[in-house]
A and B are shown apart, each in its own frame.
Chain A
Amino acid sequence: MHKSLKEDDTMSNNAYLSQGREVEIFKTAAENNLPVLIKGPTGCGKTRFVEHMAEQLHRPIHTVACHDDLTAADLVGRHLIGAEGTYWQDGPLTRAVREGGICYLDEVVEARKDTTVVLHPLSDHRRILPIERTGELIQAHPDFMLVISYNPGYQNLMKGLKPSTRQRFVALSFDYPAPDREVVILCQESGIDKQQAQQLVSLGGDLRRLKDHDLEEAASTRLLIYAARMINAGLPAREACTTCLAQPLTDEVETLAAIERLIQAYF
């Protein structure tokens, strides 16, 4: 899919099916140099959306998958030692600020709290990035855009995003696509027929009802696409669903047995 994105620009319209007006909103924010915050559950298409928008806006994208050891230096850059002595190496954020493009911080709440503070001068009217180690003050490239995303599931909520950080963004909230759209997405992404896609989507809908009681997280669109691809590749539907939709979601034996039954109710 990535390949087709880059090969053909007209394809990219199909590659992301908008859920609402998020494409227009994102474009407007980009034109006005405003940073964007995207929130939504796992696998609902946040990253795909940002990639699609980068394509649309013809801007390069610098993606950083944040983890809990990510420090400010990892974003901004650091001094390294080479054969000639020390030299400065730009981090992904600094590179995006200098050269222009979308800097996309995926799952930003995973990063340490102090990390997000470096984003503050970049995400308000100043649009600057001060680098204290080198004493530089970089004015952001006109094409620079900051996009962060996170999943407001409770696991991340306990880390949370500082209110002072959140306040600097235009926020978009994502959810799993509506069933009829999800069917279209499944068909496009995997090539299975519509009837099977419909069954998969309503199975996904059933599984999503279990969120918060029996499952920590609901079956994502991504998982449904995985299952659809496996089915399309010739794996029996039941097996594909078990491996893609039951096992990845829980380890609980009883819940697994219930999900197995549920799968049997569809395939």
Chain B
Amino acid sequence: MEEFVGEIWHKLITRQARTDFENARVHLASLQPQLAPYFRALGGESGKGIEGADHRVFNTNRRLVQRMAGSHRRFAVCWQDERSLRFPDSIAYFPDAEMNTSLYFWLTALAAELPQIKHWFVDNQTATLKLLKKRPGLIPEYQRLADAFILMRPSLVSLKGQDRQREEAIQQAIKEPGTIATLPIAKGDPIPLPLWVYPAPLHGLITSSEDDLEDQGKGNKAEENLDSNRKQAQRFDDSKQTDGLLVFQLECLFSWAEQVELDRCQEEDLDQDLSSAAEDLDIISLSRQRRAGSAKIKFDMDLPAPQNDDLPIGDGHRLPEWDYRKERMIQDYCLLQPMLADDALPSPVPEHLKNQARSLRNRFSMLQTNRQLQHRQLQGDEIDLDAWIDVKTQPHRNIDNQNLYINRDNNHRDLACLLLADLSMSTDAGLNAEQRVIDVIRDTMLLFAEALSATRDPFAIYGFSSVKNKQVRYQLLKNFAEPYNDQVRGRLQAVKPGFYTRMGAAIRQSSEILKLQKSQQRLLLILSDGKPNDIDRYEGRYGIEDTRKAVLEAKQQGLQPFCVTIDEKGNDYLPYLFGDQGYAVISDLTRLPILLPKLYLNLTGTHA
């Protein structure tokens, strides 16, 4: 009963306290694909992603009902750091959905104009002024937003003293940006201004990226369910083992957010409700003390023992890597180790693929490149003397035969293709009851090889996975020189999921190999299942920027990189990596084995 009444009361009071317009709510996710190019076009840093922002605590003057409901304490505001641009997950500030959409675009434009904030109050005004001057089309829109904004603010009549002065200054700064130089001081924080960009939080979390001991096993399910908005992070120094005296005001109860020096390492069942617990937190405190909360030991990321591992070929190649922060190449940073599965036994095409393989072979064998002379053409380089003699000797038969020329067959293709498959650990994930992602990738490689061997286009197949920069494992499955035979088929069937995805190094090595081919068109086909990542700093923007650099290098060398991915979120980052036309997202993975050969035909401009 108590609970029931409490719930009703909560609902009632939160509804009373609500200032949002639920019907006009606009979500970031739906606008994100538009905001990203908009941001880039307006001069925002092109590598920056767009993410949901965390809620921040603002100590505002709340109305009684708001205080009772416990709302209006935390607000999501727009801010950016060097990694990404953060927006509230959804905006329902204005009663009109169109206005809320406009607000997103306005914030994007302002953020592009204001990459760094020194003085929040002044910088926002000057940036607004600059933006409106540069792009006069924004003036009416800004006016509309500003007018609506003033209406949403607390009325000046209701305020007194310092509060009133401050609110006046804010409203004036929005109405006529650039006219107010200082914000009058008043108690508490002003109610957040949704039209402005806020500075990044002070206590940002700096992860030490070169940490060797990072324990990153497979994430718990509950972790993955967290929605995209981020939490403020705070790092505490808990190296001191003495239990200090806790000082707190008695009227506040302990909430989840307080850091308690309590060793919970043994409570393993705590993670059941991690996601809802995390939702309730303002701040997630991270401890630097490295004691795994869980007793599970993860063996799977260890490298296999040498006798069980594939045969390493040579001492490996040292490859550079791009550090976007320093904007330079780190020479010889990655050690790429070519590997050969020498114990894989030769085997024929597996039973379940036999039919598909046969039909693909048949279809593709029609595409064999044969440069023939076409006789009796209407146009051509040479005169077809036979046709000419025919016309001359039998004028009654072909009286207006004009087909007197020889032409060379234009339909020839001069093409080499290197297929680079991502064999990272994530491919071990189950796809359905019978198949894992790796199984589909394996089938795809087999069928692709069957099809290409029928065309006699030179091709090679490599796979890769990595364990940090020290071992980028580059699996040789078929090189350009060797014929496609059961030995290769055996190797293809023996591929197993590896470790992480250091894509840049693998692309660089593949470019080196493909570059040596003499063909006119050189296709670098990358088969992937997600973003580049590794357990060191190679994740997020770093990995993306390095991969992009490697792709650009490949393009500069005259290769044609193309990525086929099964990552449905690929649309977010793939245009940045491979360009607008440089990738394909395949939603139904089971169709990949059939789609890839088709895609090959499209890419090479041949029609089967």
Whether the Cβ atoms of B37 and A216 lie closer than 8 Å is: no
Do B42 and A206 have beta carbons less than 8 Å apart? Answer: yes
Interface pick from B21-29, B499-507, B576-584? B576-584
Which of A157, A202, A210, A212 counts the most chain B CB atoms within 10 A? Answer: A212
Evaluate whether A212 and B579 lie within 8 angstroms (CB atoms) in the complex, with A159-B520, A254-B33, A265-B137 already known.
yes
B residues 495-542 touching A (CB-CB < 8 Å):
520-522
Q: Which residue of B lies closest to A202 (CB)?
A: B134
A78 touches B46 (CB 8 A): no
The residue from B33, B383, B555 contacting A81, defined by CB atoms under 8 A apart: B383
- Say if the beta carbon of B558 comes within 8 Å of chain A: yes
| Pair B35/A258 contact, Cβ less than 8 Å | yes
Contacting residues of chain B (30-62) with chain A, CB-CB under 8 angstroms: 33-38, 40-43, 46
A30-83 interface (Cβ within 8 A of B): 69, 71-73, 78-79, 81
A7 close to chain B: CB less than 8 A: no
Partner of B135 from the list A160, A214, A265 (CB cut-off 8 Å) is A265
Determine how close the nearest CB of chain B comes to the CB of A191; give it in whole angstroms: 21
Interface residues of A, count at CB 8 A = 40
Chain A CB within 8 A of B138 CB: yes
Given contacts A79-B382, A250-B580, is CB(A265)–CB(B37) below 8 Å? no
Rounded to whole angstroms, the CA-CA distance of A199 and B137 in the bound complex is: 10
Asked if B381 lies at the interface with its beta carbon under 8 angstroms from chain A, I say yes
List chain B residues, Cβ under 8 A from A206. Answer: 41-43
Contact assessment for A261 and B38 in the assembled complex, using a CB-CB cutoff below 8 Å: yes
Tell me the smallest distance from the CB of B390 to a CB of chain A, in Å.
13
Residue of B whose beta carbon sits closest to that of A264 = B137
Question: Looking across the interface, which residue of chain B has its beta carbon closest to that of A213?
Answer: B576
Contact across chains for B41 and A259 when beta carbons are under 8 A apart:
yes
Q: Which of A73, A158, A209, A254 contacts B41, CB < 8 Å?
A: A209
Given contacts A258-B35, A265-B109, contact A210 B41 (CB under 8 A): yes
- Assess whether B476 is interfacial by the CB under 8 Å rule: no
Q: How far is the CA of A71 from the CA of B409 in the complex (A)?
A: 12
C-beta contact mask, B547-563 vs A, less than 8 Å → 1, else 0? Answer: 00000100110111000
Residues of B within 8 A of A158 (CB): 521-522, 555, 558-560
Instruction: Mark interface residues in A231-267 (1 if CB within 8 Å of B CB, else 0).
Output: 0000000000000000000101011011101111111
A86 within 8 A of B: yes
Q: Is A96 an interface residue (CB 8 A)?
A: no
Set B136, B520, B580: member contacting A214, Cβ < 8 A: B580
In the bound complex, do residue B137 and residue A267 qualify as a contact, i.e. CB atoms below 8 Å apart? yes
Taken together as a complex, chains A and B put the C-alpha atoms of A69 and B381 apart, in Å, by: 11
Chain A residues whose CB sits within 8 angstroms of the CB of B38 once the complex forms: 258, 261-262
Query: When chains A and B are docked, how far (Å) is the Cα of A226 from the Cα of B558?
Result: 32
Cβ–Cβ < 8 Å partners of B522 in chain A: 158
Q: Which residues of B contact A113 (CB under 8 A)?
A: 520
Is residue B408 contacting chain A, with contact meaning CB distance below 8 A? yes
Identify which of B109, B383, B410, B552 contacts A69 (C-beta below 8 A).
B410
Q: Is the CB of A216 within 8 A of B555?
A: no
Asked, given contacts A154-B555, A267-B137, whether A214 binds B37 with beta carbons under 8 Å apart, the answer is yes
Nearest CB in chain A to that of B552: its residue: A212
Q: A159-B520, A266-B136, A266-B137 are in contact. Are A210 and B40 (CB under 8 A)?
A: yes
- The smallest beta-carbon distance between B561 and chain A, in angstroms, is 9
Interface size class of B (residues with CB under 8 A): 35 or more
Instruction: State which residues 109-127 of A face B: CB under 8 Å.
Output: 113
A227 within 8 A of B: no
Nearest B residue to A78 by beta-carbon distance?
Answer: B381
| B404 proximity list for chain A (CB < 8 A) | 81
Q: Which residues from chain B contact A266 at a C-beta distance below 8 Å?
A: 135-137
Interface members, chain A 168-224 (any B CB < 8 Å): 199, 202, 206-207, 209-210, 212-216
Q: Kindly list chain A residues whose C-beta atoms are within 8 Å of the C-beta of B484.
A: none
* Cα–Cα distance between A69 and B43 once the two chains are bound (Å): 41
- Cβ–Cβ < 8 Å partners of B261 in chain A: none
The complex places the Cα of A158 from the Cα of B511 at a distance, in Å, of 13
**Is B395 interfacial (CB-CB < 8 Å)?**
no
Name the B residues within 8 Å of A133 (CB-CB): 382
Most chain-A Cβ atoms within 10 A of its Cβ — which of B38, B136, B520, B552? B38
A86 touches B383 (CB 8 A): yes
Listed A/B pairs (10) with beta-carbon separation below 8 Å: A71-B381, A113-B520, A154-B579, A157-B555, A209-B43, A213-B37, A257-B34, A258-B37, A265-B135, A266-B136
A interface residue numbers (CB < 8 A to B) = 69, 71-73, 78-79, 81, 86, 113, 133, 154, 157-160, 199, 202, 206-207, 209-210, 212-216, 250, 252, 254-255, 257-259, 261-267
Besides the known contacts A207-B41, A209-B42, 18 further A-B residue pairs in the complex with CB atoms under 8 A apart: A69-B410, A71-B381, A79-B382, A113-B520, A154-B579, A158-B521, A158-B559, A210-B40, A212-B552, A213-B37, A213-B40, A214-B37, A214-B40, A216-B579, A216-B580, A257-B34, A266-B136, A267-B137
Q: Sorted from nearest, which 10 A-B pairs have the closest CB atoms?
A: A254-B33, A258-B37, A73-B381, A265-B135, A154-B555, A206-B41, A214-B37, A258-B38, A258-B34, A266-B137
